[in-house]
Structure formats: C-alpha cells, structure tokens
A and B are shown apart, each in its own frame.
Chain A
Amino acid sequence: MELILFYIAATVALFSTVFALTRSNAAHALIYLIVSLLAVAVIFFLLGAPFAAALEVIVYAGAIMVLFVFVIMMLNLGEEGQELERQQMHPAVWITPAILSAILLVEMVLLLAKFDTPQTGALITAKQVGLSLYGPYVLAVEIASMLLLAGLVGAYHVGRRFRSTEIDEDSVAGSSPENTGVID
C-alpha cells in the first residue's frame, strides 16, 4: 500500500518538476513547482520523517515560493499584468496542477485514515532531530545562522541599491558618487 502511494507521489513529483521547468510563463511554472514540493513532502511523510515533511511545506512551499511570487508580481505591472491575470484564470491553465495536487490530497487522506503510524521506515520524531541538532550539530546551527545573517544583509544591500538607482534615474543622473558605475 505504502509502496503504491510512494510511486504515485514520485510520479507526481517528477512530472510536475518537468512541467515547471518547461513552461514559458513563470507564474504557471511556480504552480507546478509548488505541487512538486508538496509531492516531495508526501514522500518525506511516507519515509517516516513527518518533521521534514512539515518543514518542506512551511518553508519551501510556503516561504521560499512566496518570495518567487512577490518578484514575479513585481516584474509584470500595469495593463500587461492585468491581461496576464485574466489569461491565468483560464481553466486550461490550472486544471493540471489541481489534478496533481488532488492526487496528493487523496494520498494524504488515505494515509491518515488507514494507518495509525503512516510510515515505511523507522519513525524519526522531531524530538530526535532537535536533540541531534543542538547536540553534535550545534556548530552547523551556528554556521547556518551566520549564513542566514549574510543572506539577510546581502538581500537588503541589493534591494537598497535597486531602489536608490531608481530614484537617481528619475532625478539628475550621475550626480551621486554611488551612481557612477551604474548608468552608462
């Protein structure tokens, strides 16, 4: 039973990934990518890693994909964006991702209904992961926190430059020293 569910989820993950990377429209690709990440989350659940599955849904399919959505929405503005929005509401666009995620939902409901412990391997609980994370891997946590701080500072810097060049282009160009290398 779990084997069949695993192969279904694996097929969904593979197909939605291939679809995601072959679309011409970035917003459509994002929908497929989210379905792919949800399928991988179902596989984590099947493998007996419910904590990793929850993290996959919350952080990957939630936070990181929201960043992509923000950027894509920022880049198509105005009338073109509205036209695109109308075109995106067409059923032909969202029916395939909807079917794929419905398959995943049915799998999840089946798992929760039929088995007390929906797993195929050894269940590794969040407690074990936490003990390992803050025991032998505490240095890795420190390094990850520094990496995230560097990412925060870097993203802030890049975003700030983006806004300041926009203002400088509107006003008299080339007056600020920061702007010399930006506009040819």
Chain B
Amino acid sequence: MEGLIIPLNHVLILASLLFATGLAGLMFRRNVIFILMSLEVMLNSAGLAFVAAGTAWAQADGQVMFMLILAVAAAEVSVGLGLVLQVHKRFKTLDMDQAHKLNG
C-alpha cells in the first residue's frame, strides 16, 4: 500500500454499505423510478470500490474501470427511463407489480 492514510477496509465497508442500501431499495420499492435510482446507487458503490482499490495499489486501472461503469450506467439509465415512459403510458402507473406480465 502506497501510503493510503484512509484504511482501504473502511472505504470498502462504505462501498458495501452503499451497495446494501441500493439492494434493499431495489427489493423494497415498487416504483420503477426508485428501482432505477437503486441501480444507480449500486453501480456507484461498485465504482467507489474500484477507485479505492486502484488508489491503494497506486494504479490507474481503478479509475479506468470507474469510467467503464459510468458508460454502463449512462446506457442503462437512458434505456430504463425510456421504458419508464412506456410503462407509464400503458399502465397509467409506475407500480411495477401492475406490469408483471411481459406481454403487456
């Protein structure tokens, strides 16, 4: 470890706490916008873990992986929000339990 003052364990604990929060939100909330927000939180916590690990070993790879996660998040959220508009158009609600049948 190249002189990382913050213990890597603590950053990873924070990342896993954020991930657990996002996972809990994903499972508890039924509003599709909140489901997408939970996905964002989970992707962001994964990015935090990558950046922390990259800093701990003084390598740029962590930040490269963070940028790839950023691209994944952007693509996912654009398609996801388009689907939100579709769901709202067809079911007049954002409750995903109303939209559990895939054939519309």
Which residues from chain A sit less than 8 Å from chain B, CB to CB? 2-3, 6, 10, 13-14, 17-18, 20-22, 26, 29-30, 33, 36-37, 40, 43-44, 46-49, 51-52, 55-56, 59-60, 63-64, 67-68, 70-72, 74-75, 120-122, 124, 128-129, 131-133, 137, 140, 144, 147-148, 150-152, 154-155, 157-159, 161-162, 165-166, 181-182, 184
B40 touches A21 (CB 8 A): no
Other A-B pairs beyond A121-B5, A181-B104, 20, CB < 8 Å: A17-B18, A17-B21, A33-B40, A46-B6, A47-B11, A55-B67, A56-B44, A60-B73, A64-B40, A121-B56, A124-B55, A129-B64, A132-B60, A133-B60, A148-B71, A150-B75, A154-B78, A162-B89, A165-B89, A182-B104
How many B residues touch the partner, as a band? 35 or more
Closest A residue, CB atoms, query B103:
A181
A158→B34 contact, CB < 8 A: no
Number of A-B residue pairs, CB cutoff 8 Å, is: 192
Closest beta carbon of chain A to B17's beta carbon, Å: 6
Given contacts A29-B37, A148-B74, contact A124 B54 (CB under 8 A): yes
Q: CB distance B75 to A148 under 8 Å?
A: yes
Interface code B70-99, partner A: CB below 8 Å = 1, 0 otherwise? 111111111101111110111000100000
A2 CA / B4 CA spacing, docked (Å): 11
Please name the residue on chain A nearest to B56 by beta carbon: A121
Main secondary structure of the interface of B (DSSP, over half): helix
In chain A, what residue has the closest Cβ to B37?
A33
- A151 cross-chain contacts in B, Cβ below 8 A: 74-76, 78-79
B52 — nearest CB in chain A belongs to which residue?
A: A47
